[in-house]
Amino acid sequence: NIRYADSGHCVRMNMWKVITLVLCFGLVCAQESTDITLQGPTYVTPVPSGNVFIDEPFDSDDALESSWTQSQATKDGVDSDIAKYNGNWAVEGLAENALPGDLGLVLKGKAKHHAIAASLDTVYKFEGKPFIMQYEVNFQTGIECGGAYVKLLTHSDGLDLSDFRDKTPYTIMFGPDKCGEDYKLHFIFRHKNPKTGEIEEKHANKPTTDFKSYYTDKASHLYTLVINPDNSFQVLIDQTVINSGNLLTDFTPPVVPPKEIEDKDDKKPEDWDER
């Protein structure tokens, strides 16, 4: 037991009750004072450090017009009514629990193709340093069938961002995707076979961690991809590793094939002795 004295009164109580009493007195003081202002959290634009090739906080309404190009392309092999990349984008705050000043890129159309792109300041080359790619996603109205992934486009002299579409060559594709009850977190890279010159998509093996809640809780989550010079990689959500492995072996199909493979053209000889 302790004693708490105020205004000539003495109160005897157990320790846990003191917290309530102090809070109550604090509220009274705040109500009577004209010098105390209660403020919520203040948003501050994050400032990147180190060797950054692109950084986009979308903290201004003119971010789309100044740095980004919305695709005007048409998707191949799709009915003309839905083939165009005509889904609109906007820079807005969150629909719920918004922090003033904290804006983001928002998809405004439903059941439409969306594609938007921006150029890196310089071409990124995978030469001896870790590659880190990360961005924040919030499925604030839920997601039925669609993706929120990012593509790192393959460098070419004739690249036209206004013609960005599903067939545009890319080097890395990373991010969440969902259709029905199929929840995915893509990490795909396009690999050129040094002997044949053939380019093939390599898909990272699916994480064993259950990440369904990240698509349904309507909260913001940070998706991060790290690729190291030793060919190891990590996929993180909110700085927690949910998938990792090696670029050469932990993909389908693997970059390094197994030592023995089934010969699809193998046939039984005509003079085979069944005995």
- pLDDT tens for each residue of 52-69: 999 999 988 788 888 899
Which run of H or E residues covers position 30? helix 15-32
What's the sign of the alpha-carbon dihedral 236, 239, 242, 247? positive
- pLDDT at position 245 over 70: yes
> Strand, coil or helix: what is 64?
helix
The pLDDT value given to residue 29: 38
Which of the 8 DSSP states describes residue 61?
T
d(CA 233, CA 226): 5
The pLDDT value given to residue 37: 59
- pLDDT at position 71 over 60: yes
The pLDDT value given to residue 173: 96
What is the tens place of the pLDDT at every residue in 94-103? 888 888 889 9
What is the tens place of the pLDDT at every residue in 132-184? 999 999 998 888 888 899 999 999 888 899 999 889 999 999 999 988 888 89
Assigned CATH topology for domain 62-252: Jelly Rolls (2.60.120)
The Cα-based distances of 210 to 144, 146, 242 in angstroms read 18, 19, 9
pLDDT class of 113 with cuts at 50, 70, 90: confident
The pLDDT value given to residue 38: 63
Q: Residue range 2-22: average pLDDT?
A: 36
Which of the 8 DSSP states describes residue 129?
S
- Which residues have CB under 8 Å from 273's CB, separation 6+? none
| pLDDT more than 90, % of the chain | 39
CA 226 vs. chain centroid, Å, equals 12
What phi, psi does 89 have (nearest 5°)? -125, 155
The pLDDT value given to residue 203: 96
- pLDDT at position 130 over 60: yes
pLDDT class of 33 with cuts at 50, 70, 90: very low
- pLDDT at position 206 over 50: yes
